[in-house]
Structure 1
């Protein structure tokens, strides 16, 4: 896949997700996060920036079908996180993906404890588990294949995501951010 095609896919996904995110009705009115769409875009670019073409294309299809059906994945994800609705997807691959990503996160937080807090594992797992419940079986298949391939290649997708984030935030890299935080 060309870099242009990849960027277009990620951008299309993020714009669809942002529309869903801005439409989420919260109990206390509009959330602070909803008032910062650029932060949302950066975090979602971090999330999707390491995904394979197969995952991106399948997930984009999920989003299009959800829009056509009047579903809002963001509303569903946050309702799942707040225990307001029962699980909507119990596919066993979700647990496997969450465990792999959590292990990768633990590795990153051990290497860069000032940048990636160690105590965030539980919330990381909850967020990812609830997000993955909105994915179709085809997207979960592609995501599980990506996780397997990354493991076999010795890649750490969480580290790759944080490298994207650090570049977006102007640090250049995780190492640079960690060094800057250690100096203060």
Structure 2
């Protein structure tokens, strides 16, 4: 089993245990979609970040923490702020370095996400809304989701992820485009343009 398969399985085990206010969500019974969405993300990561994040998940499992549950909880700072205020103190606090690093990464990735939307508008429309200001009680934006997920990483993983983002920038690569290209291929398309063209046929 590859390191990416390890990570997806560890996340799926955590996702399966996420306790939703309205009961179990249908997506918690859909491993196929979960596997494609998460694998697409990790296929675009470098080995150092993958290894560090797998260690986070393994450590969390040993300690009885659910990083996927914590990710969704952190997103509620934007999507359900009143509820979030009631349990925010229970989440592991983020130090100043973590907060600043997360916001720097979010700013960079928002630029990539918006560039992707300009180049592949139909594919973009199939994905999450982009900015936190577009959040609703039932809709979580790319920005809010990313900020929530980064908030669950250990300092070691966050540092590795930040280095990876810097390398993408230095090489003028777009992490969103590469992630979405993996998604398109896992769904059977030759690449992003093929998927965009297919959507255009049905427009």
CA distance in 2, matches of 1:89, 1:176: 41
Structure 2 contact 102–150 (Cα < 8 Å) conserved: yes
Once the two structures are TM-superposed, the CA of residue 156 in structure 1 deviates from its matched residue by 0.5
Once the two structures are TM-superposed, the CA of residue 82 in structure 1 deviates from its matched residue by 2.1
Select 2:192's aligned residue among 160, 174, 178: 174
Aligned pairs, number = 178
TM-score between the two structures when normalised by the length of structure 1: 0.92
CA distance in 2, matches of 1:129, 1:59: 16
Q: Which structure 2 residue ranges, 5 or more long, are not aligned?
A: 78-83, 132-140
Structure 2 contact 52–157 (Cα < 8 Å) conserved: yes
Structure 2 contact 128–142 (Cα < 8 Å) conserved: no
1:152 paired to 2:152: no
CA distance in 2, matches of 1:70, 1:24: 13
Structure 1 runs, 4 residues or longer, greater than 3 Å off: none
**SS of corresponding position for 1:114:** helix
Select 1:110's aligned residue among 118, 126, 132: 118
Once the two structures are TM-superposed, the CA of residue 58 in structure 1 deviates from its matched residue by 0.5
1:69 is aligned to 63
Q: Which structure 1 residue ranges, 5 or more long, are not aligned?
A: 1-6
TM-score between the two structures when normalised by the length of structure 2: 0.84
Superposed CA offset, 1:112-139 (max 9, x none): 0011128711200100100111101110
CA distance in 1, matches of 2:40, 2:103: 21
1:162 is aligned to 180
Once the two structures are TM-superposed, the CA of residue 158 in structure 1 deviates from its matched residue by 0.6
Structure 1 contact 114–181 (Cα < 8 Å) conserved: yes
1:17 is aligned to 11
Structure 1 contact 97–144 (Cα < 8 Å) conserved: yes
